[in-house]
Structure 1
Amino acid sequence: MKMQMTNKAKLMFLSLLIFIFIAILFPLILYVINMPGGLSHKNEDWGDFGSFVGGIYGSFFSSLSLMVVSIAALETYRSNKEQMLILRNDQSFNQFNILLSNLRASFPTRYDYSENETRVIADHYSSFRLRLGISVVAHYDDQKTVEQNLIDYASVYYLQHSQLLFDKPAKLFTCIIDVIRKAPNDLSNAFKIIFENNFNEYERLCLEYYTRAYHPGTISFLDNWSSLSQIPSDSIRTAEQNLRLNGVLV
Structure 2
Amino acid sequence: MNQDTSPQALREAIRRGDFTGNTSGYSAGFVQCNLTILPADWASDFLRFCQANPKPCPLVGMSTSPGDTALPPLGSIDIRTDVPSYRVFRDGEFTEEVNDITALWRDDLVVFALGCSFSFEEALLADGLDVRNVSEGVNVPMYRTNIECTPAGPFKGNMVVSMRPFKAADAIRAVQICTRFPSVHGAPIHLGDPGLIGIEDINQPDYGDPVTLADDELPVFWACGVTPQVALEAAKPPFAITHSPGHMLVTDLRNSQLAVL
Q: Which structure has the highest strand share of the two? A: 2
TM-score by length of 2: 0.20
**Which structure: larger Rg?**
1
State the TM-score, normalized to the length of structure 1: 0.20
Which fold has the larger relative contact order, with Cα–Cα distance below 8 Å and residues 6 or more apart in sequence?
A: 2
**Higher helix residue share:** 1
